[in-house]
């Protein structure tokens, strides 16, 4: 026989101390109520049955406006489908925990980036339910978006940079080939810009570039992609645009009245614009993005040379 000093045998169970279940239940309630991140208890169909204070503080809704409803109604409209799909594997039993990131619209209307971790709870001693953790990651996502913007946009004008422009052009060309829709690239160069810098200084030159960028945005469609390629050279990507239709855009871009309308450009300063255009052949095997941009660049220099004769 094993002595009591050796402890219980392998088949013996150590009974919990008196009151352990009550203490555990109290700790669980405290952990739920005072958790630093949002915690929601959901029914199997996704309806909220309980939320802690952190959820209310995060979303700006009192608990009574969240309980009895599902949280998908607060997800940004375009992200509802992915959010539902992320949780589908919980309902069909293929996974017990899913993690996804989405955006919730808070009670005051602003959008929050939220990391959502949802776990399904099953077992003979508990009713089926799910636990959802909601963690605000807005600051992290804002930093990511800002760094991404800085990497893909010109810091002076806010237009796309060359790398982003070529990425957009590479995206557009396969669609043009599949659907037979023309893609036109416009290459823009400011005439006499070096003289502006030499005569008025680089600070004025920068103001001219910013004013011209505003002019470019105002002259093209919202869906067109405008970029500063470097120095005083700009480009515009016009999808579903023939060479003939692009001529109207070129006419607006060459209008020099933008210098007079820009209050931060010295009065009487007129800067011209030379524009070259190249339209992609939508047939299979046509050239790539760099080829089309180079063709527009060559057309711009040809136009400049023709004008200077």
- Residue 24 clears pLDDT 80, i.e. is over it: no
Torsion over CA of 150, 153, 158 and 160, rounded to 10 degrees?
A: -160
Q: Give 100's strand partners.
A: 116
Q: How far apart are CA 88 and CA 102, in angstroms?
A: 15
| pLDDT, mean over the chain | 87
Q: What is the mean pLDDT of residues 11-31?
A: 70
Query: What percent of the chain lies above the pLDDT cut of 70?
Result: 88
Query: Who has greater pLDDT, 307 or 150?
Result: 150
Q: What is the pLDDT of residue 3?
A: 45
pLDDT of residue 4: 46
Task: Summarize pLDDT for 156-211 with one digit per residue, the tens.
Answer: 999 999 999 999 999 999 877 787 888 999 999 999 888 888 888 899 899 999 99
DSSP string across 227-294: EEEETTEEEEEEET--HHHHHHHHHHHH-THHHHH-TTS-TT---EEEEEEEE---STT---HHHHHH
* DSSP, res 75: B
> pLDDT digits over 230-263, tens only?
999 999 999 999 889 999 999 999 988 787 666 6
Question: Is residue 11 over pLDDT 70?
Answer: no
- Average the pLDDT over 210-235 and give the result: 95
Closest CA to 38 of 118, 126, 123: 118
**Domains of the chain, each with CATH number or no CATH:** 15-142 (3.30.450.20), 153-308 (3.30.70.270)
pLDDT range class, residue 296, cuts 50, 70, 90: very high
Query: Per residue in 99-121, pLDDT tens?
Result: 999 999 999 999 999 999 999 99
pLDDT for residue 86 is more than 80 = yes
Q: What is the pTM of this model?
A: 0.69
Kindly indicate the confidence band of residue 307, based on its pLDDT and cuts at 50, 70 and 90: low
**Predicted confidence band of residue 12 (pLDDT cuts 50, 70, 90):** low
Tally of helices (H runs) and strands (E runs) in the chain = 11, 9
Cα gap 246→219, rounded to integer Å: 11
User: In this predicted model, what pLDDT tens digit does every residue of 41-78 receive, in sequence order?
Assistant: 999 888 999 999 999 999 999 999 999 999 999 999 99
């Amino acid at each position: 026989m094993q002595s009591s000093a050796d402890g219980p045998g392998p088949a013996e169970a150590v009974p919990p101390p008196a009151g352990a279940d009550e203490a555990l239940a109290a700790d669980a309630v405290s952990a739920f109520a005072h958790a630093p991140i949002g915690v929601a208890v959901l029914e199997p169909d996704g309806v909220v049955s309980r939320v802690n204070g952190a959820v209310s503080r995060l979303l700006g809704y009192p608990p009574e406006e969240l309980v009895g409803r599902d949280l998908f109604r607060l997800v940004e409209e375009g992200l509802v489908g992915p959010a539902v799909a992320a949780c589908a594997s919980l309902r069909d039993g293929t996974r017990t925990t899913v993690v996804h990131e989405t955006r919730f619209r808070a009670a005051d209307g602003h959008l929050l980036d939220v990391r959502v971790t949802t776990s399904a709870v099953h077992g003979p001693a508990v009713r089926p339910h799910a636990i959802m953790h909601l963690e605000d990651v807005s600051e992290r996502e804002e930093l990511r978006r800002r760094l991404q913007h800085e990497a893909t946009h010109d810091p002076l004008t806010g237009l796309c940079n060359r790398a982003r422009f070529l990425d957009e052009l590479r995206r557009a060309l396969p669609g043009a080939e599949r659907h037979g829709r023309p893609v036109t690239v416009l290459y823009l160069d400011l005439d006499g810009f070096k003289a502006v810098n030499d005569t008025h200084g680089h600070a004025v030159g920068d103001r001219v570039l910013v004013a011209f960028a505003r002019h470019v945005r105002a002259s093209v469609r919202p869906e067109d992609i405008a970029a500063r390629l470097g120095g005083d050279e700009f480009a515009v990507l016009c999808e579903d645009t023939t060479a003939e239709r692009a001529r109207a855009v070129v006419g607006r871009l060459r209008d020099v009245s933008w210098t007079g309308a820009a209050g931060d450009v010295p009065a009487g300063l007129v800067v011209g614009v030379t524009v070259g255009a190249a339209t992609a052949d939508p047939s299979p095997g046509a050239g790539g993005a760099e080829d089309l941009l180079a063709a527009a660049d060559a057309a711009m220099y040809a136009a400049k040379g023709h004008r200077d004769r």
